[in-house]
């Protein structure tokens, strides 16, 4: 019985491309001519791409990418660049941030009011009962009535719920129905002792989690906030005026609520630290609730408005040796669902500023409360450092929110309780910053595909004084390395 043999070429693609067996000489000449023409087109496309990349280098185009988890300070860093290098445009837009700041204030107060809806004796009087429930098996867990003066404050501040709705309607288009489905403020609770890698303890969730508002990148939300007509017969300016008028009218009650000793005790017991959240203005109430309030540079930098998607900001240097250099700064979303969108921006990027909020050692991600924020930043930094696409890209590390770290440690929070490898070191801000810098530097050194210089800064990007100098130094370094790589130096 004859044995069949498989042909040596079993590649179906090669078989499909093989010339017909009965091909004539004329058909063969035509086929070869067509293949040659296709090769010329392909080579022309490749050459055009190569020349375009070369031309971008000669034009002194700097592409800077901002990376980091959500609420790490990326948008604030972008605003700092705008403030420093396009100051006139930045100042003209400050008034557009008033609605955002109003919303930040209102949401801070409403979060306090939410915390007052379900209080227990231990929240207010850890050792002295206020009322008692004789049917309760656990006296320390008894629910208690809200003290009369706080009940009255809550009643008088109820109009702020309406103001919140007005401001959300002003900033968010009606079709953005998902705009209030993201967690807000949930990463600020502390406590717990669940260990994770790198010796970090996981805090549990707390019940007072509101919903966060977000906007799409671009000018649309600013147009809505500016008071320009959105539909016939309505203007956003009416909402702004009404919101500020209500805040001004409620100023005394807001101040009384924030300064109330029982309220502060409840917030401490519930592990709610509003002072550490973006968009905190409760220590500036007299100024920000004035009818003549106009946002300052610092106010805009502190404002919290979550953006989803990619924000790109371009500007040209107008003086000195850098004159004519175009900068494009790209801010990408930092939540876990948005991180897969980062990779396309790695191509031709000049440098990356990575922001790691080191004050978040006792917090969890809003989108996944089983993940510690510091642990997430460490793993994310490791991924960026080890990415082969970024092997020749300068990485600049901002160990951010050092001001919050300072106040947190000085208030008595023990870093070693959450970061076990911190060990017996003094619970001192400078010691902690040095420790974190060494940890992140070691990751950079061990996981970079090829050796490269480490640039690390301890920052508080809302601070205009210190951050201005750091950004200027980073700008000079990035431009110098870019020109050297482009052989323009």
Is residue 339 annotated as involved in ligand binding?
A: no
Portion of the chain with pLDDT greater than 90, in percent: 46
State the pLDDT confidence band at 389, using cuts at 50, 70 and 90.
very high
pLDDT digits (tens, 9 = 90+) for 66-106: 999 988 999 999 999 999 888 888 999 999 999 999 999 99
Is there a contact between 384 and 390 (Cβ–Cβ < 8 Å)?
yes
For residue 185, pLDDT over 90 is answered with no
**What b/e readout covers 390-422, taking b as 16+ CB neighbours within 10 angstroms?**
beebbbbbbbbbbbbbbebbeeebebebbbeeb
For residue 455, pLDDT over 80 is answered with yes
The pLDDT of residue 178: 44
Is residue 304 annotated as involved in ligand binding?
A: yes
The pLDDT of residue 94: 92
Nearest to 337 by CA among 371, 367, 312, 372: 367
For residue 153, pLDDT over 80 is answered with yes
**pTM value > 0.95:** no
The pLDDT of residue 183: 39
Q: Is residue 413 within a helix (H) or strand (E), and if so which, with residue range?
A: none
Is residue 400 annotated as involved in ligand binding?
A: yes
Is residue 382 annotated as involved in ligand binding?
A: no
Is residue 302 annotated as involved in ligand binding?
A: yes
The pLDDT of residue 205: 35
d(CA 459, CA 71) in angstroms, rounded, equals 14
Is residue 401 annotated as involved in ligand binding?
A: yes
Average pLDDT, the chain: 80
Going along 282-379, which residue ranges are E strands? 306-307, 310-316, 326-332, 351-357
Is residue 437 annotated as involved in ligand binding?
A: no
Six-digit token string for 67:
């990376």
Q: What is the mean pLDDT of residues 459-479?
A: 90
DSSP secondary structure string for all residues of 203-240: PPP-S--EEE-EE-SSSHHHHHHTT--SBTTB-HHHHH
Nearest to 187 by CA among 389, 374, 441: 374
How many Cα atoms within 13 Å fall on the side-chain side of residue 356?
A: 28
Query: What residues pair up with 455 in beta bridges, in sequence order?
Result: 396
Is residue 31 annotated as involved in ligand binding?
A: no
Is residue 271 annotated as involved in ligand binding?
A: no
d(CA 383, CA 388) in angstroms, rounded, equals 10
The pLDDT of residue 447: 95
d(CA 344, CA 333) in angstroms, rounded, equals 13
Q: Which of 127-131, 250-254, 439-443 is the least confident region? A: 127-131
pLDDT digits (tens, 9 = 90+) for 112-122: 999 888 776 66
- What are the structural domains, with CATH classification, of the chain? 63-91+307-487 (3.40.50.300), 92-302 (no CATH)
Backbone angles phi, psi at 284, to 5 degrees: -125, 35
């Amino acid at each position: 019985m004859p044995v069949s043999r498989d042909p040596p070429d079993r590649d179906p693609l090669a078989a499909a491309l093989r010339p017909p067996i009965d091909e004539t000489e004329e058909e063969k000449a035509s086929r070869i001519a067509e293949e040659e023409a296709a090769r010329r087109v392909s080579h022309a496309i490749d050459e055009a791409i190569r020349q375009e990349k070369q031309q971008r280098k000669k034009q002194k185009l700097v592409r800077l990418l901002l990376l980091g988890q959500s609420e790490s300070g990326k948008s604030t860093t972008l605003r700092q660049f705008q403030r420093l290098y396009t100051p006139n445009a930045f100042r003209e837009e400050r008034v557009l941030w008033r609605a955002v700041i109003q919303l930040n204030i209102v949401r801070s107060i409403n979060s306090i009011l939410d915390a007052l809806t379900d209080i227990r004796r231990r929240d207010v009087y850890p050792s002295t009962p206020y009322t008692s429930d004789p049917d309760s098996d656990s006296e320390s867990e008894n629910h208690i009535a809200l003290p009369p003066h706080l009940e009255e404050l809550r009643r008088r501040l109820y109009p702020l719920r309406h103001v919140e709705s007005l401001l959300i309607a002003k900033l968010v288009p009606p079709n953005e129905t998902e705009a209030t489905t993201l967690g807000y403020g949930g990463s600020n609770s502390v406590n717990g002792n669940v260990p994770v890698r790198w010796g970090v303890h996981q805090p549990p969730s707390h019940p007072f989690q509101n919903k966060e508002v977000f906007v799409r990148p671009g000018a649309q939300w600013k147009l809505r906030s500016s008071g320009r007509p959105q539909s016939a017969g309505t203007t956003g300016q009416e909402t702004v005026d009404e919101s500020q008028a209500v805040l001004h009218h409620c100023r005394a009650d807001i101040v009384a609520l924030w300064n109330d000793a029982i309220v502060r005790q409840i917030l401490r017991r519930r592990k709610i630290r509003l002072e550490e959240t973006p968009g905190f203005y409760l220590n500036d109430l007299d100024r920000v609730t004035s009818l003549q309030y106009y946002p300052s540079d610092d106010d805009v930098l502190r404002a919290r408005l979550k953006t989803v998607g990619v924000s790109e900001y371009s500007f040209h240097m107008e003086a000195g040796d850098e004159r004519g250099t175009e900068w494009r700064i790209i801010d990408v979303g930092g939540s876990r669902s948005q991180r897969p969108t980062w990779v396309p921006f790695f191509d031709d990027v000049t440098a990356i500023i990575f922001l790691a909020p080191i004050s978040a050692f006792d917090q969890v991600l809003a989108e996944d409360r089983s993940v510690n924020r510091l642990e997430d930043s460490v793993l994310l930094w490791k991924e960026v450092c080890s990415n082969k696409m970024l092997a020749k890209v300068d990485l600049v590390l901002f160990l951010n929110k050092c001001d919050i770290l300072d106040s947190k440690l000085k208030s008595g929070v023990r870093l070693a309780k959450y970061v076990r490898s911190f060990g017996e070191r003094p619970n001192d801000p400078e010691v902690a910053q040095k420790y974190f810098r060494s940890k992140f530097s070691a990751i950079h050194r061990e996981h970079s595909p090829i050796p490269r210089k480490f640039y690390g800064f301890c920052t508080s990007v809302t601070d205009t004084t210190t951050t201005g100098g750091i950004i200027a130094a980073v700008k000079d370094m990035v431009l110098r390395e870019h020109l050297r790589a482009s052989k323009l130096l």
